[in-house]
Amino acid sequence: MDLTIEGKAYVDGDFQDCCVGVTDGKISAIKKILKGDKHYKFGHKLILPAGIDLHVHFRDPGMTHKEDFSTGSMAAAFGGISCVFDMPNTIPQTTNPQALSDKIDLAKKKSFVDFGIYAGVTNDNIKRIADLGKQCSGFKIYMGSTTNSLQIDTINLKQAFKEIVSTNKPVLIHAEDDACLDGHSIKENNLADHLRSRPSKCEEKAISDVIEATRGINLKVHICHLSSYAGLELLKNRTENISCGATPHHLLFGIEKNTRSQTHYKVNPPIRTSFDREALFDGIRTGLVDIIESDHAPHTLEEKDVEFDDAPSGIPGVETMFPLFLYLAKEGKLPFQRLIHLVCEKPAEILGIPKGKLEVGRDADFIVADIKKACKIKSENLHSKCEWSPFENWPAIFPTHIFIQGEKLIEDQEMLGREGFGRFVGE
């Protein structure tokens, strides 16, 4: 046995005083007492599965002044995330086998954490889906315009789904109907205008079209960054093959209470009302919302601090997602069992990867957290290249250690790992 860790570990839905044994990067035993070549004792600290973020935009290649795989994956690691999945709206867009292969090779050289890469589906590459499926970790479909996005017409949606089925890969959906967005386009001066220009009816329409297009097709579909009560209501009676996620910014912000620069909260889909926020938060408690995903989409402060209508949409969050909700769990706002399901277990299930649980046979990806030591989020302590956070001064609990593949990547909040350590997963 290569190593063992001892402490209060989250196993089989509860915290147990036990040891977790690791052999060749996999969890090989969980028992009351174990000894390995290396043994770590963490006393009263919690040992949890590392998080999985199935929705990041690391801007690499093409927009690396905002972020790249090195800085983005480092931020993920410090936030307790052992595996990230990157979106295809980079430059060039990841819509053909060569661009996909190039991005995978790029990330293999830079990433501190394990990673997957999505292929984008457009009107023009539907017939190439089978080829893309040989390499990608899953597919992304944008039903509405957003940052450097690639779109598909609703009329082509069912055909795209039929092609994706043969790859046995999941498809993730940005659910805002483009025709609906066009019909509400206005010059925007603030967040209220942005909300009016992207009303919840556009999300509702897109979700309805996805549900209709999946009828009779056995396909794993994930609705990204659900933002509205209307969308949540529509998904209440969905089939088991459709999952949905919510972001920290949609779960924790309502436009009524934002006091900082309005452009810092500009994002697609938009921050909505406190009513929507409360409905989504209730959804993560009750199981109506399946996962929490960051939609980490960084822009520089120089890009954000302009007139509202000119500012790009997007919010950073991969480093703060898990720590924010660890604090909320400690405060009793969300059961630890639900949090682990939302950030670890369910994302692993959606993506079909052997992570997300402290269980024999799974990847030895885990974090150590001192639940008694909360701190305030400070941008200068974060690792994203964009150097700001919408969660400035929010309380959070950051992990002290992270192990990936049984290797200690971070110890006492100091990076021990190297660029290129992360493996490509999800093939």
For residues 99 and 93, the answer to whether their CB atoms sit within 8 Å is yes
List beta partners, residue 5. Answer: 20, 40
The CA distance from 306 to 226, in Å, is 27
Long-range contacts of 348-352 (CB under 8 A, 24+ apart): 348/52, 350/54, 350/170, 350/220, 350/222, 350/243, 350/290, 350/291, 351/52, 351/54, 351/85, 351/116, 351/137, 351/138, 351/170, 351/426, 352/170, 352/426
Tokens of 264: 């810092």
- pLDDT at position 248 is 98
68 is catalytic: no
> What pLDDT is attached to residue 5?
96
**pLDDT tens digits, residue range 7-55?**
999 999 999 999 999 999 999 999 999 988 999 999 989 999 999 999 9
Domains and CATH numbers, the chain: 3-47+361-415 (2.30.40.10), 51-351 (3.20.20.140)
Whole-number percent of the chain with pLDDT over 70? 98
Please tell me the distance from the alpha carbon of residue 280 to that of residue 286, in angstroms, as a whole number.
10
Confidence band of 318 (pLDDT split at 50, 70, 90)? very high
Mean pLDDT of the chain: 95
**What is the pTM (predicted TM-score) of this model?**
0.97
CB-based contacts of 309-315 (< 8 A; 24+ apart in sequence): 309/187, 309/188, 309/189, 311/263, 311/266, 312/147, 312/266, 313/146, 313/147, 313/266, 313/267, 313/268, 314/57, 314/147, 314/266, 314/267, 314/268, 315/247, 315/249, 315/264, 315/265, 315/267, 315/390
Count other Cβ atoms within 10 Å, centred on residue 282.
13
pLDDT above 90 for 257: no
> Residue 174: its pLDDT value, please?
96
pLDDT digits (tens, 9 = 90+) for 162-192: 999 999 999 999 999 999 999 999 999 999 9
Q: Which of 295, 305, 309, 370 is catalytic?
A: 295
What is the model's pLDDT at position 258?
A: 61
| 344-361: average pLDDT | 97
Residue 355: partners with Cβ closer than 8 Å, 6 or more residues away = 49, 50, 52, 82, 83, 114, 344, 348, 362, 363, 365
